[in-house]
């Protein structure tokens, strides 16, 4: 583990021949971003600028960046697409939108993914971002609640797929 703002980050670029970067580092807690917008900006904006500048310096072929659908705020229509106007409702969404703007302005070859409801193996079902973990926990307690939850979230295709796969596994 290394802080994205650490001076040692450049050593990784110096010591390795890197062609592609998957930039997944972030402060991703929405309520934390509101309480501590300076920390959120330091991690999500300044840390990303550091990676972007190093990518240019070391001639990285392409950088793939994790952003968020939170930049769009309340959807104008479904499904949410790139035609939506940004309408951030949180400092977290704003920091990720700003990261994307810097990416464009710093002229690097990039792809930005605007994820929603990301799930990882250690994700907690507590807090605002644990929808898939909540489904997994619910499935482990009750089979009949899972179809109900899926029907209530039919506008989130990614979650439906994750829940379907989860419901067909033998162990959670």
What residues are annotated to the active site? 92
The helix/strand/coil state of 76 is coil
Q: What is the dihedral of CA 90, 93, 95, 97, to 10 degrees?
A: -140
Tell me how far apart the alpha carbons of residues 133 and 115 are, in angstroms, rounded to a whole number. 16
Q: 33 burial class (0-12, 13-18, 19+ CB within 10 angstroms)?
A: buried
Tell me how far apart the alpha carbons of residues 61 and 109 are, in angstroms, rounded to a whole number. 7
Q: Which residues pair with 123 in a beta bridge?
A: none
Mutual orientation of helices 157-167 and 145-152 as an angle, nearest 10°?
Answer: 170
Tell me how far apart the alpha carbons of residues 110 and 71 are, in angstroms, rounded to a whole number. 18
């Amino acid at each position: 583990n290394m802080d994205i703002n650490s001076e040692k980050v450049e050593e990784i670029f110096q010591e390795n021949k890197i062609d592609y970067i998957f930039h997944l580092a972030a402060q991703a807690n929405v309520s934390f971003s509101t309480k501590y917008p300076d920390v959120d900006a330091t991690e999500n904006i300044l840390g990303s600028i550091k990676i972007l500048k190093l990518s240019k310096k070391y001639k990285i072929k392409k950088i793939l960046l994790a952003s968020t659908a939170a930049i769009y705020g309340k959807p104008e229509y479904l499904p949410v697409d790139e035609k939506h106007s940004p309408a951030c409702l949180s400092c977290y969404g704003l920091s990720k939108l700003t990261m994307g703007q810097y990416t464009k302005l710093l002229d690097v070859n990039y792809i930005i993914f605007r994820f929603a409801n990301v799930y990882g193996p250690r994700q907690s079902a507590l807090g605002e971002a644990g929808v898939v973990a909540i489904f997994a926990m619910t499935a482990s307690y009750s089979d009949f609640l899972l179809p109900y939850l899926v029907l209530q979230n039919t506008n989130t295709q990614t979650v439906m797929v994750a829940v379907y796969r989860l419901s067909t596994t033998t162990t959670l």
